[in-house]
Copies of this chain bind each other. A is one copy, B any other.
Amino acid sequence: MSEINSWIGSSTADSITVAGRDLPGELMGTVTLTDLTYLLVTRREPTAGQRRLLDAVLVSLADHGLTPSALAARLTYTGAPEAIQGAVAAGLLGAGSVLLGPAGDTAVFLADARPERDDDEDLHRAATDAVEQRRGQGLRVPGLGHPVHRVEDPRTPRLYALAEEEGVLGPHLRLLRFVADAQADATGRRLPINGAGAAGAALVDIGIPATSVRGAVLIARTAGLVAHLTEEADSPIGMSLWHEIESRAAPPGGPAVSSSS
């Protein structure tokens, strides 16, 4: 192995360096976790606007209630409460193509589709082409539609307004609007831009690499999962959920005996 290098962190007997800065002297007490995330992933400090957008996106994705991800974490805690890292990991593992992953998928889709010049005309054409190509492959267009928020996802207008307010509404958020239009034109049915899609576009606009967006979402979701596990420790639902499901799944004529009976 010729070389092993990492810019991210290192330490000596009396110093710790993270992101090229002295950890205790230059980072602790000075920057937020959000700042450090931006710094570690992009190797630049965020501007005030980038910081506010990144926080808004992370806050928007931290939790959505008793999702499959939260339930998997709680059920894992039921069996192994002493290894909370396993319960958090189980919750993160459901971040895939169906749930949680779409923010990253939209980011990659938009970054690939983005034209060289960012004027409205070129963005419009790029959106039309990209939608056509996805539809030709029988694939869904990422970033659009939501099973619950059928008319409008309440996170989307808020993210666009914040981006505009902070002067960081860039080509990916703009392209996503053209994509929604192109999809409506092609199908005759308008789907709202969902919160995950707007989040993915916003992260690329503030400088997060598109391929790192799925990862960034996981930081926020870890915060939500830790809250779920704190709640599960106090007011557990895993064990009773198990016994209810088991008794409902019992074959006719031979009901399972649950532990509470």
Is A191 in the interface zone, CB < 8 Å from B? Answer: no
- A159 is an interface residue with CB less than 8 A from chain B: yes
Which of the residues B68, B78, B83, B246 comes within 8 Å of A85, measured between beta carbons?
A: B83
Q: A144 interface residue, CB < 8 Å from B? A: no
Residues of B within 8 A of A71 (CB): 71-72, 75, 241-242, 245
Which residues of A134-176 have CB atoms within 8 Å of chain B's CB atoms?
147-152, 154-155, 157-159, 162
A78 contacts which chain B residues (CB < 8 A)? 68, 94, 98-99
- The stretch of A109-117, A118-126, A224-232 in contact with B is A224-232
The answer to whether B6 touches A228, judged by C-beta atoms less than 8 angstroms apart, is: yes
* Interface residue? A48 (CB, 8 A): no
Q: Which residues of B contact A37 (CB under 8 A)?
A: 62, 223, 226-227
Interface residues of A toward B: which range? 35 or more
Knowing A14-B149, A223-B37, A257-B148 touch, does A94 contact B80 (C-beta < 8 A)? yes
CB of A28, distance to nearest CB on chain B (Å): 4
Q: Which of A52, A84, A147, A159 has the most CB of B within 10 A?
A: A84
The reply on A90 being an interface residue by CB < 8 A is yes
Which residues of the other chain, B, contact A149 by a CB distance below 8 angstroms? 11, 13-14
CB distance from A56 to the nearest CB of B (A): 4
* Among candidates B90, B240, B258, residue contacting A94 with C-beta atoms closer than 8 Å: B90
- Shortest A88–chain B CB gap in Å is 5
Q: Whole-angstrom distance between the alpha carbons of A206 and B218 in the complex?
A: 25
Q: Which residues of B contact A10 (CB under 8 A)?
A: 65, 246, 249-251, 254, 256
- A residues whose Cβ falls under 8 Å from a Cβ of B: 1-18, 23-25, 27-29, 31-34, 36-37, 40-41, 52, 55-56, 58-60, 62-72, 75-76, 78-90, 92-101, 104, 147-152, 154-155, 157-159, 162, 195, 209, 211-212, 214-216, 218-220, 222-231, 233, 235, 237-246, 248-251, 254-259
Could you list 22 examples of A-B contacts with CB < 8 Å?
Answer: A2-B240, A6-B66, A6-B70, A6-B237, A8-B224, A10-B250, A10-B256, A15-B154, A18-B62, A24-B155, A28-B56, A28-B162, A29-B55, A29-B162, A32-B55, A36-B59, A40-B224, A40-B230, A68-B242, A79-B96, A82-B82, A92-B222
